[in-house]
Amino acid sequence: MRTALLTLVLALSASPALAQTAEPAPAQTAAASAEQAIDVTDDSDWQNQTIAIPAFATNADVPTRTSAGSTAALGNALAGVITADLQNNGLFKPTGPGALPRPALAQIQAPEFGGWQARGTDMLIQGFVRAEADGQVTVGCYLYDVALKQQLAKAGWTLAPGEWRRAAHKCADMVYSRLSGESPFFDSKVAFIAETGPKDRRLKRLAIMDSDGQNFTYLTTGQTTALTPRWSPDYKSILYLSYFNGQPRIYILDPATKSQRLLLSARNPLFAPRWSPDGQWVLYSMAQAGNTDIYKITAAGGSPVKLTDSPGIDIGGSFSPDGSRIVFESDRSGSQQVYVMNADGSNQKRISFFGGRGATPEWSPRGDQIAFTHIVGNLRVATMDPSGGSLRYLTDDWQDEAPTWAPNGRVIQFFRTARNTGRTSVWQVDLTGRNLRKLDTPVDGSDPAWGPLRP
């Protein structure tokens, strides 16, 4: 987390357009104790960067087919979604449309810098909405540095009415990446398991939502228990586990049509399906006579390749972003620990040596970190580097498990189980561990699986 912040701070200070932003304080870190020195908590300069996001203007307030209403209402809703995106990451101090004057269309490309400066605004996001004749909506998004009176970035999109929130996420992505130097991630989706019902009779259905928890949609009916979904890299398929006649099997479901196919048929239980980064391979585990090993098979089917052959449970593989290595968990040593092997199964090496148990490893899309569940009584979400060093806890609760990475490798979602009730919820935390929040899903949720940035 410290590395992440430091990178952000450096990226900021290196950006000429943002030269007026408060300096990171190297003297302070240097003077601090060793413990404080690596803990760059003084990111208040960052969080104090004020961003104003007034309602987007429109050329004409006319009805749209979006769920937000007319173009004027849509302009207000867009600014609200952008505000929430930027708010929830703790990097900025955004002010939403409710507390701000609404600029006229003519001001979108010629902001009233003086007025915004008087309000103490550092950054200004303005935009417009236009209804197209064919029912689509066009959204423009502009980022300004108020002190410099300068435009930093702009972009525009024409989208189907049902996709209007994407424009807000794309705008937030543009602002986030321009100001932080990091890759975007808001315009992405999460597959997860929607849970309802009492603890001993939980109905577990496959569902999807946008990265911010909105646009919730069920994909299965709940007649069979669904678990552990994963998006394909192109968003066209979801791998998941489903109980058919009581036996867990791996299916590939098309979220557009909700049709699915059995990936492979076996008399033995199949677990933990995972895509390779290129979508060509599927990793999975199969239990045979009490022994579970990891296999891979091409996504089209064919002959499985057995990758592990240890007495014990080998499960939960995750490819490195270049596809060359796989991180997985195994209890071959006597307890669950995290191991790395080459993609062909060779060179299997344990990497977790810090006590407790290590489970559900997920390789970051940036390749630099592995997120996992660390179990010492309680279950906590933690990260380490691919050689097993730099252990960091991101959460500290009774039962947090199954981390999944945002497309930019800077934010993690996971699920939390409540003591006694067994109620589950999807949570999000950044790599500092300080910006933790629960996603507002309409029902309980578990096993979040964050997809890549949408194509």
Partner 1 sequence: MRTNPALIAMLAAGLAVSACSKKPPAQLPPDPGGAVSTETPTASTGPTPGSQADFVATLMGQDTILFDTDQYNIDSADQAALAAQAQWLAKYPAKRATVEGHADERGTREYNLALGERRANAAKNYLVSLGVDAARIATVSYGKERPVALGSDEGSWARNRRAVTVTID
Structure tokens at 230: 């994963």
The CA distances from residue 22 to 42, 103, 123, 145, 407, in Å, are: 12, 28, 14, 14, 29
Site for partner 1 contains 383 (CB under 8 A) = no
Of 253 and 313, nearer to partner 1 (C-beta) is 313
Cα–Cα–Cα angle for 145, 148, 154, rounded to 5 degrees:
40
- In the list 340, 379, 439, 453, the residue contacting partner 1 (rule: CB under 8 A) is 379
CB of 303 to partner 1, least distance (A): 23
Q: How far apart are CA 79 and CA 76, in angstroms?
A: 5
Placement of tokens 């209890």 in the chain: 331
CB of 367 to partner 1, least distance (A): 23
Site for partner 1 contains 106 (CB under 8 A) = no
Site for partner 1 contains 419 (CB under 8 A) = yes
**Phi, psi angle pair for 298, to nearest 5°:** -70, 150
> Which span (35-43, 45-53, 245-253, 343-351) binds partner 1, by CB under 8 A?
245-253
CB of 8 to partner 1, least distance (A): 31
- In the list 359, 370, 449, 453, the residue contacting partner 1 (rule: CB under 8 A) is 359
Site for partner 1 contains 239 (CB under 8 A) = no
Single out the residue of 431, 347, 414 nearest to residue 374, CA to CA.
414
Q: How far apart are CA 46 and CA 53, in angstroms?
A: 17
Provide the angle, in degrees to the nearest 10, between the axes of the packed helices 164-180 and 71-87: 40
Site for partner 1 contains 159 (CB under 8 A) = no
Of 101 and 422, nearer to partner 1 (C-beta) is 422
Q: How far apart are CA 186 and CA 291, in angstroms?
A: 40
Q: How far apart are CA 66 and CA 301, in angstroms?
A: 40
| String of contacts with partner 1 for each residue 252-271, x by CB under 8 A | -----------------x-x
- Count Cβ atoms below 10 Å from residue 259 Cβ, excluding itself: 9
| String of contacts with partner 1 for each residue 272-301, x by CB under 8 A | x------------x-x-xxxx---------
Site for partner 1 contains 243 (CB under 8 A) = yes
| String of contacts with partner 1 for each residue 190-229, x by CB under 8 A | --------xxxxx-x------------------xxx-xx-
> Which span (3-11, 100-108, 119-127, 413-421) binds partner 1, by CB under 8 A?
413-421
Alpha helices in 138-295 (DSSP H): 164-180
Site for partner 1 contains 417 (CB under 8 A) = yes
Single out the residue of 267, 64, 58 nearest to residue 162, CA to CA.
64
| Structural Rg of the chain based on CA atoms | 23
Single out the residue of 171, 159, 220 nearest to residue 195, CA to CA.
220
Instruction: Say if CB 380 and CB 436 are below 8 A apart.
Output: no
| String of contacts with partner 1 for each residue 318-357, x by CB under 8 A | -----------x-x---xx---------------------
Site for partner 1 contains 422 (CB under 8 A) = yes
Site for partner 1 contains 188 (CB under 8 A) = no
Q: Report the run of H or E that residue 13 belongs to, with start and end.
A: helix 2-14
| String of contacts with partner 1 for each residue 391-410, x by CB under 8 A | -------xx-xx--------
Q: How far apart are CA 335 and CA 377, in angstroms?
A: 13
Residues at the site binding partner 1, with contacts judged by CB under 8 A: 198-202, 204, 223-225, 227-228, 243, 245-248, 269, 271-272, 285, 287, 289-292, 313, 315-316, 329, 331, 335-336, 359-360, 373, 375, 377, 379, 398-399, 401-402, 417, 419-420, 422, 446-447
